[in-house]
Amino acid sequence: MPEGDTVHQAAGRLHQALAGQELTVSDLRVPRLATVDLTGRTVVEVVARGKHLLTRLEGGLTLHSHLRMDGSWRIFAPGERWRGGPGHQIRAVLGTASRTAVGYRLPVLELLRTTAEDEAVGHLGPDLLGPDWSPTEALARLAAAPEREVGEAVLDQRNLAGIGNVFKSELCFLLRVTPWLPVGELPDPERLTTLAARLLEANRHRPRRTTTGRPDRPLYVYGRAGRPCLRCGATVRTAQQGDPPRERPTYWCPGCQKGPAPAA
């Protein structure tokens, strides 16, 4: 599931494959960009901003993409068979003489002036893996709605950019609070931003995400409903959090985490 760590990894792979190279193939398979031809332009750089990818091109253009739940960019060598899904799921193809980047299931794909990138990402809070990371600013944004549930607040990219559903559950476990606890009742709010940054930084370059450091059991609670907690042995539970249609499955340990939670 793409979150800040994996999106930054994707940006790194795309940058390594395309940056400094002239595009020889440009195929954007969304209606509004169907007639756009980027061939002949050099890729300047590819950067991540939270969960967003910004491919900056010569001439002051930026191709903005977002992976959401299951989108991906795959890199292929010349002649290599493309793998990542059926052809009808391909939304973008950017090719150079040595590499081809293929974007599968991209729910967001738009072309912007580089000077207008804020139209796409200007609403985001501090990026946990970016040069703009500011725990003070993130805390101020979280504190602006003290009644809001912690799980919902950390998923809101306007507060801090990069946390997704996996890290939400794992972060709350490490804080020993349920995801339904109001932000204003956190016993140590500063620890939230410190742990969030530490978790994403620790996974910035890992091929497989982990919060436990154990390869056999990489996560404490996410995806472990009905199984014993790795810390106390209580049965890990799951419930939906959020309002439809944006509710998300949430995992927690009733033994380790204190605060409100849905009835069993």
Please give the positions annotated as active site: 2-3, 51, 248
Could you tell me the end-to-end alpha-carbon distance of the chain, in angstroms, rounded to an integer?
27
Instruction: Write the single-letter amino acid at 259.
Output: G
SS (H, E, C) 141-168: HHHCCCCCEHHHHHHCCCCCECCCHHHH
Check if the beta carbon of residue 221 is closer than 8 Å to that of residue 173.
yes
Q: Which two tokens stand for residue 248?
A: 């998300």
Q: At what angle do helices 189-202 and 135-143 cross, to 10 degrees?
A: 130
Cβ neighbours around 39 below 10 Å, total: 12
Report how far residue 109's alpha carbon sits from residue 92's, in angstroms, rounded to the nearest whole number: 8
